[in-house]
């Protein structure tokens, strides 16, 4: 972990960062090592100098001696401020009055010193959270600022009621559920539950039940629509259902129901069912088979009596492609006769 100590030297605010390492081994006392790795020397105008050890962005960490370093480290493609987040500050830390007015002191959590000083002057919300010592929200601020902005009125309710959020991520999920059910997000009764997990889980269970009801209702609507489509398909295409083309090996027959369209699509791995070819009034869909094996699916245009396409598995031609095309063309009069009958 990293710990910090703030000092003042003439016109500089100094932030010293230390690396604390603990080694544990069975049946022996833990060994602790501490070393200084980084110093920020910051003037009142914001200009700063960095004294630090070299920083390997891999797993080697900090090495070498404390020297004046670049303020930005990394590469051309990825760089970042030569800075670290200290989890704790020494209680004897001393900060300049301008930083104390921002809410920065030895209890700073959730942000590095640099991040705090760069953020707070431009974000009254971050300043409010820091001065209220709501470090759980400060810690969440950097990666989820939009949630802080979105639910700021609810956060103010928490501050007013001195409500501590034990699990910030769960709390924001809970607020989203409250919003979904049009609950008052300005009401402490909802925003500040005595048992956050219990309240959260209650709404999660309710949402699951409602989603399941919605899913079943959609399925029912789809079934009713499919039933109507099936009736229309039989009405329009039943005149072709007794059609059969055969050359001694290959048999070509029409698809007689929506269930057969679904089966054809699953076997052949194409979109004859998903793209609802059964709703195409001017198309007749045929299936070419050898025994029980589905070979190709054929679409015939009922206006021009031409073959639009004939596709095998995954829309690929098969070795029987030309033979199937020839068989259907040879029997096109059978289709014409049934259409005009």
pLDDT one-digit tens code per residue, 76-127: 444 456 788 899 999 999 999 999 998 899 998 888 899 888 888 888 999 9
pLDDT at 62 over 70: yes
Residue 136 and residue 20 share a domain: yes
Q: Is residue 285 part of a domain?
A: yes
Residues 245 and 120 in one domain: no
Instruction: State whether 130 and 11 are in the same domain.
Output: yes
Mark which of 98, 122, 142 sits at the end of a domain.
Answer: 142
- In tens, the pLDDT along 260-298 reads 999 999 999 999 999 999 999 999 999 999 999 999 999
In angstroms, the CA 167 to CA 53 distance is 36
Please indicate, yes or no, whether residues 136 and 26 belong to a single structural domain of this protein: yes
Residues 133 and 18 in one domain: yes
- Pick 272 or 61 by higher pLDDT: 272
Segment 276-280 long-range contacts (CB within 8 Å, at least 24 positions apart): 276/229, 278/229, 278/233, 279/229, 279/232, 279/233
The model's confidence at residue 27, banded by pLDDT at 50, 70 and 90, is confident
Average pLDDT over residues 133-157: 90
Place of tokens 């820091």: 130
Domain end (from 104, 126, 142): 142
Q: What is the largest CA-CA distance in the chain?
A: 105
| Distance in angstroms (rounded) separating the CA atoms of residues 50 and 82 | 8
Strand partners, 293: 290
Question: What is the number of structural domains in the chain?
Answer: 2
Distance separating alpha carbons of residues 165 and 173, to the nearest angstrom: 12
Is 207 domain-assigned?
Answer: no
CA distances to 21, 39, 85, 128, 286 from 32, in Å: 6, 21, 20, 37, 79
Contact (Cβ atoms closer than 8 angstroms) between residue 314 and residue 270: yes
pLDDT category, 251, cuts 50, 70, 90? very high
Residues 138, 245 within the same domain: no
Smallest Cα–Cα separation from 294: which of 279, 307, 311? 311
The rounded mean pLDDT for the chain is 90
CA pair distance 68, 280, nearest whole angstrom: 75
* CATH code for the domain of 263: 3.40.630.30
In a domain, 112, yes or no: yes
pLDDT computed for residue 76 by the predictor: 44
**Residue 75 located in a structural domain:** yes
Query: Looking at the structure, do residues 7 and 134 belong to the same domain, yes or no?
Result: yes
Which pLDDT score, from 0 to 100, does residue 80 have? 57
Asked if residue 17 is part of any domain, the answer here is yes
Within a domain: 250: yes
Residue 324 CA, chain-centre distance (Å), reads 47
Rounded mean pLDDT, 191-196: 96
Q: Distance between CA 272 and CA 276 in Å, rounded?
A: 6
Q: Which residue, 107, 142, 177, sits at the end of a domain?
A: 142
- Residue 64 inside a domain? The answer is yes
Run of H or E residues at 112: none
**Are 10 and 125 in a shared domain?**
yes
What is the rounded average pLDDT of the residues 5-21? 93
User: pTM of the full predicted structure?
Assistant: 0.63
What secondary structure letter does DSSP report for 315? G
- Per-residue pLDDT, averaged over 23-47, amounts to 89
> Is 116 inside any structural domain?
yes
- Listed range (64-78, 122-136, 139-153, 223-237) with the worst mean pLDDT: 64-78
In percent, the amount of the chain with pLDDT more than 70 equals 96
Question: Angle, to 10 degrees, between the axis of helix 321-330 and the axis of helix 332-340?
Answer: 40
Provide the domain limits for residue 310: 241-340
pLDDT digits (tens, 9 = 90+) for 289-328: 999 999 999 999 999 999 999 999 999 999 999 999 999 9
Show Cβ contacts of residue 236 under 8 Å, excluding neighbours closer than 6 positions. 281
- Measured CA to CA, the distance from residue 282 to residue 268 in angstroms comes to 22
Residue 26 pLDDT level (bands cut at 50, 70, 90)? confident
Q: Do 16 and 130 share a domain, yes or no?
A: yes
């Amino acid at each position: 972990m990293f710990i910090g100590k703030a000092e003042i030297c003439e016109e500089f605010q100094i932030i010293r960062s230390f690396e604390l390492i603990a080694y544990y081994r069975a049946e022996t006392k833990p060994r602790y090592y501490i070393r200084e790795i980084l110093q920020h020397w910051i003037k009142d105008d914001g200009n700063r100098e960095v004294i630090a050890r070299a920083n390997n962005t891999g797993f080697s960490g900090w090495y070498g001696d404390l020297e004046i370093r670049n303020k930005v480290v990394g590469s051309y493609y990825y760089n970042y401020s030569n800075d670290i987040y200290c989890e704790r500050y020494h209680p004897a830390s001393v900060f300049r009055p301008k930083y104390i007015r921002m809410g920065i002191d030895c209890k700073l959590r959730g942000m590095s010193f640099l991040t705090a000083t760069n953020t707070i002057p431009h974000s009254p919300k971050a300043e409010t959270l820091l001065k209220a010592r709501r470090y759980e929200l400060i810690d969440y601020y950097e990666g989820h600022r939009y949630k802080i902005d979105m639910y700021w009125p609810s956060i103010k309710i928490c501050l007013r009621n001195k409500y501590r959020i034990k699990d910030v991520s769960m709390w924001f999920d809970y607020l989203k559920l409250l919003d979904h059910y049009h609950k008052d997000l300005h009401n402490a009764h909802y925003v500040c539950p005595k048992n956050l997990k219990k309240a959260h889980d209650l709404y999660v269970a309710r949402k699951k039940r409602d989603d399941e009801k919605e899913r079943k209702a959609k399925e029912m609507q789809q079934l009713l629509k499919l039933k109507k489509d099936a009736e229309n398909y039989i009405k329009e295409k039943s005149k072709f259902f007794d059609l059969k083309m055969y050359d001694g090996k290959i048999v070509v027959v029409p698809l007689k129901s929506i269930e057969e369209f679904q089966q054809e699509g699953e076997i052949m791995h194409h979109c004859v069912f998903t793209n609802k070819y059964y709703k195409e009034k001017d198309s007749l869909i045929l299936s070419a088979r050898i025994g029980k094996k589905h070979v190709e699916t054929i679409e015939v245009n009922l206006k021009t009596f031409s073959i639009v396409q004939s596709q095998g598995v995954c829309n690929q031609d098969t070795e029987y492609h030309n033979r199937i095309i020839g068989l259907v063309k040879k029997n096109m009069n059978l289709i014409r006769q049934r259409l005009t009958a």
